[in-house]
């Protein structure tokens, strides 16, 4: 990241009993700007009806951070990640999925805003290189099924606390008032909606990272629990919200092996359903080259009679080459079999079975 120093007075707090007063600090903010640009060309051969076999897309992410340190040692600032999103008329609209204010010190760190729950932030997935192989989020190309735990990568508005790191160990807790609510959204309604089924989500998590000579160990675990909202949930149709997961990797002289397991219970499903998933991966890095292979599987068991249980699998192989500082060439091939996709398929097909090739040029700055 490039750093831009702004020697300006910062407004940090306005408070007062009878009248508000402006409190300032002489410490300048350090503003950093960085990000990545990903240019993808994609080939897909699957069982979707009326779908073309090739696609090209551009995805960029800009990371902005402003940080200052007060005379009493308090570090504070703002962190945001901007991304391009597609609107209804095919134009890019820039929005910030991650955006939060933070305070930190010897006592730990607090984040306030649209940020990850602690269990997701401490998640340890199966190792991958470059694009990501079987854990690559390719739903936009092949369907809407998922190889992740239910709250992976969500940035709903929340309150978060992280402990300091003690000998490689760190823990945290977060509270999300409304699932599916971020930014300026007003989600005070007691009635459940399709994008807002749960409330009062509490997440806990912990991670351990330690090196022993040439051996590197990483372990991450966590869970999130919440309450159902009224309406459909009150009728006993919507499943309870209880998600937990555990992952670990072990590295040795360029090799990394590991896996990840999650249990979504019946979150976002019908009451009584059950969904679990797991991944395994192995990577090797040497010089400017990295190669990886991994496997992902999700099993969904349905309580409703007459509904066949689903198993979605994906096998992935990938390679990445660092062509120059901040410039890399990457490629993935993924073989997937998704029983959960039962609509929008070619005649005579009951699931989506296919192969995905992705070629990426990535710039990091």
pLDDT of 234 > 90? The answer is no
What is the pLDDT at residue 11?
A: 32
Which is nearest to 61 in space by CA: 79, 32, 31, 81? 81
Helix (H) or strand (E) holding 90: none
Q: What is the pLDDT of residue 158?
A: 97
Residues 6+ apart with CB under 8 A from 339: 308, 310, 311, 312, 350, 351
Give 284's strand partners: 255, 291
Residues 6+ apart with CB under 8 A from 66: 6, 29, 30, 31, 32, 77, 78
Predicted confidence band of residue 305 (pLDDT cuts 50, 70, 90): low
- What is the value of pTM for the model shown? 0.87
| pLDDT, tens digit, 9 for 90 and up, residues 139-162 | 444 444 567 788 888 999 999 999
pLDDT above 50: residue 18: no
String of DSSP letters for 271-335: TT-EEEEEEEEEEEEETTEEEEEEEEEEEEE--STTPPPEEEEEEEEEEEEEEETTEEEEEEEEE
So what's the pLDDT on residue 304? 76
**More confidently predicted of 217 and 306:** 217
State the Rg of the chain over Cα.
22
For residue 232, the model assigns a pLDDT of 63
Which pLDDT value is given to residue 218?
Answer: 98
Judge contact between 232 and 238, C-beta under 8 A.
yes
Taking all residues of the chain, what is their mean pLDDT, rounded to a whole number? 87
Residue 16, sorted as left (phi over 0), alpha (psi -120 to 50) or beta, turns out to be left
Q: Does the pLDDT value for residue 344 go beyond 90? A: no
Rounded Cα distance between 278 and 294, Å, is 11
- What's residue 145's pLDDT? 56
Average pLDDT over residues 96-100: 94
- The angle formed by the CA atoms of residues 50, 270 and 98, to the nearest 5 degrees, is 70
Give me the domains of the chain, ranges plus CATH numbers: 2-364 (2.40.160.10)
User: Once rounded to an integer, what is the mean pLDDT over residues 256-265?
Assistant: 96
**Each residue's pLDDT tens digit, 188-215:** 888 888 788 899 999 999 999 999 999 9
Extract the tokens encoding 104: 């930190």
Give pLDDT, residue 17.
34
Phi, psi of 255 (to 5 degrees): -95, 140
Which of the pair, 230 or 128, is modelled with greater confidence? 128
Give the list of residues 6+ apart from residue 2 with CB closer than 8 angstroms, or none: 32, 33, 34, 365
Give the pLDDT band (50/70/90) at residue 126. Answer: very high
Check if the beta carbon of residue 33 is closer than 8 Å to that of residue 2.
Answer: yes
Both structure tokens of 84: 């391009």
């Amino acid at each position: 990241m490039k750093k831009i120093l702004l020697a300006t007075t910062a407004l940090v707090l306005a408070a007062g009993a009878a009248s508000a007063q402006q409190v300032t600090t002489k410490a300048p903010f350090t503003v950093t700007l960085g990000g990545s640009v990903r240019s993808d060309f994609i080939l897909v051969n699957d069982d979707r009806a009326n779908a073309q076999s090739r696609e090209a897309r551009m995805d960029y992410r800009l990371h902005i951070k402003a940080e200052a340190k007060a005379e009493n040692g308090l570090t504070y600032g703002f962190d945001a990640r901007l991304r391009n999103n597609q609107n209804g008329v095919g134009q890019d609209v820039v929005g910030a999925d991650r955006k939060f204010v933070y305070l930190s010190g010897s006592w730990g760190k607090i984040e306030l805003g649209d940020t990850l729950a602690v269990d997701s932030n401490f998640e340890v997935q199966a190792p991958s290189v470059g694009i990501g192989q079987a854990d690559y989020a390719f739903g936009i190309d092949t369907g809407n099924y998922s190889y992740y735990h239910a709250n992976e990568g969500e940035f709903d508005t929340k309150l978060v606390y992280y402990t300091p790191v003690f000998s490689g160990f760190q823990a945290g807790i977060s509270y999300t008032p409304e699932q599916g609510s971020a930014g300026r959204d007003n989600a005070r309604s007691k009635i459940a909606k399709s994008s807002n089924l749960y409330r009062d989500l509490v997440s806990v998590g912990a991670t351990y990272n330690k090196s022993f000579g040439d051996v590197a160990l990483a372990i991450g675990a966590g869970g999130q629990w919440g309450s159902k909202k009224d309406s459909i949930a009150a009728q006993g149709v919507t499943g309870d919200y209880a998600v937990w997961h555990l992952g670990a990797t072990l590295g040795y002289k360029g090799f990394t092996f590991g896996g990840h397991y999650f249990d979504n219970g019946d979150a976002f499903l019908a009451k009584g359903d059950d969904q679990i998933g797991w991944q395994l991966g192995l990577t090797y890095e040497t010089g400017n080259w990295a190669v990886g292979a991994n496997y992902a599987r999700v099993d969904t068991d349905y309580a409703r009679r007459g509904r066949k249980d689903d198993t979605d699998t994906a096998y992935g192989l990938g390679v990445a080459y660092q062509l120059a500082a901040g410039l890399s060439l990457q490629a993935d091939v993924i073989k997937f079999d998704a029983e959960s996709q039962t609509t929008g398929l070619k005649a005579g097909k009951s699931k989506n079975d296919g192969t995905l090739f992705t070629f990426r040029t990535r710039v990091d700055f």
